[in-house]
Amino acid sequence: MASARKKAAETLAKTDVVIEVLDARIPEASCNPMIRQLRDFRQRPCLKVLNKSDLADPAVTAAWLDFYNRQPGVKAVALSCKNPAEPGRIPGLCRSLAPHRNDLTKPLRMIIMGIPNVGKSTLMNALLKKRVAKVGDEPAVTKSQQTLDLGKGMTLTDTPGLMWPRIEHDSDGYMLAASHAIGTNAVIEEEVATFLAQVLLQRYGDLLAARYKCPVAGLDGAGLIEAVAARRGCRLKGGGLDLEKASLILLTDYRSGAIGRISLETPETRAAMLAAAREQVATRGEEMDAGAAED
């Protein structure tokens, strides 16, 4: 990751527009602060691409687009790379962010950045209308940078997924794991599924009830996993519920969109989470100060 960051910083110095690909279901959780730091240092405009929008809650996606489009030097668009026509909007949006390249005397240089498994390589293939980048439903498929001619005075550089060294908020880690941006070896899937279940119960209970054909009122995250296990016949040899298998069913159904169009965070829930985190830090600081005074 350190090597990829260094290489991205070098390429960014010769780039006009950053195309940052996010997961539309978790836009801020899938936004690497390192990418923001790199582009802010070079003062590069950014096109935020909320990919996988076909899996996300449309109303929530609209709120995120408004959130990003109010930021200076930023435009945002929601799309799904499964629809070949949708990525075709990106070059025009990038040109609007770099008007000094509109005369075609020099190529518009774009770089695709983002965390693993948000669809960067799929987007690049869609823009080029041919398979030039390896894709897969696992994090860290792209291993090195490649720059290609997009035609009409444009070049495009694809980069490996950039994760940050430490995920500051636990909820971000769970959302990233649920959405498959973190490899399965780095997480306990039952814990991730329990977190996911709790979020879904709070906001998408009707979709859960319809998918698993069971009442969900009054359940907590662990209770929903048990209900899924019972409904899907997930049993261990001794007859007990196979919660690991039920957890995988829930995660797979969320990732594939089988439950419905779901967003795990909104601008409001994000602001509330950050406010709570700041308050927690302030409280810890006051407690430490009080302890030092007593000593």
Rounded CA separation 86/255 (Å) = 21
Retrieve residue 51's tokens: 């990919």
Q: 41: Cβ–Cβ under 8 A, 6 or more apart, which residues?
A: none
What local confidence, expressed as pLDDT, does residue 152 receive? 80
Rounded CA separation 118/122 (Å) = 9
Retrieve residue 140's tokens: 């860290």
Extract the residue ranges of the chain whose pLDDT is less than 50: 136-142
Sequence ranges of the chain with CATH classification 1.10.1580.10 = 188-256
**Mind spelling out the 3-state secondary structure of 18-45?**
EEEEEECCCCCCCCCHHHHHHHHHHCCC
Diameter of the chain measured on Cα atoms: 72
What local confidence, expressed as pLDDT, does residue 138 receive? 47
What local confidence, expressed as pLDDT, does residue 3 receive? 72
Rounded CA separation 109/98 (Å) = 9
Closest-CA residue to 228 (of 244, 255, 218): 244
Pairing assessment for the beta strands 146-149 and 154-158 based on DSSP bridges: antiparallel
What local confidence, expressed as pLDDT, does residue 277 receive? 93
For 188-256, CATH gives: 1.10.1580.10
Rounded CA separation 30/182 (Å) = 11
* DSSP conformation letters of the chain: -HHHHHHHHHHHTT-SEEEEEEETTSTTTT--HHHHHHHHHHT--EEEEEE-GGGS-HHHHHHHHHHHHTSTTEEEEE--TTSTTGGGGHHHHHHHH-GGGTTSSSPEEEEEE-STTSSHHHHHHHHHTS--S---SSS----S-EEEE-SSSEEEEE------SS-S-HHHHHHHHHTTSS-GGGS-HHHHHHHHHHHHHHH-HHHHHHHHTS--TT--HHHHHHHHHHHTT-B-TTS-B-HHHHHHHHHHHHHHTSS-S--S--HHHHHHHHHHHHHHHHHHHHHHHHHHHH-
Fold of 2-158: Rossmann fold (3.40.50)
Residue 156 φ then ψ, to 5°? -135, 130
Query: Do 247 and 194 meet the contact criterion of CB atoms below 8 Å apart?
Result: yes
Rounded CA separation 150/162 (Å) = 23
- Chain centre to alpha carbon of residue 47: 15
Retrieve residue 23's tokens: 């997961």
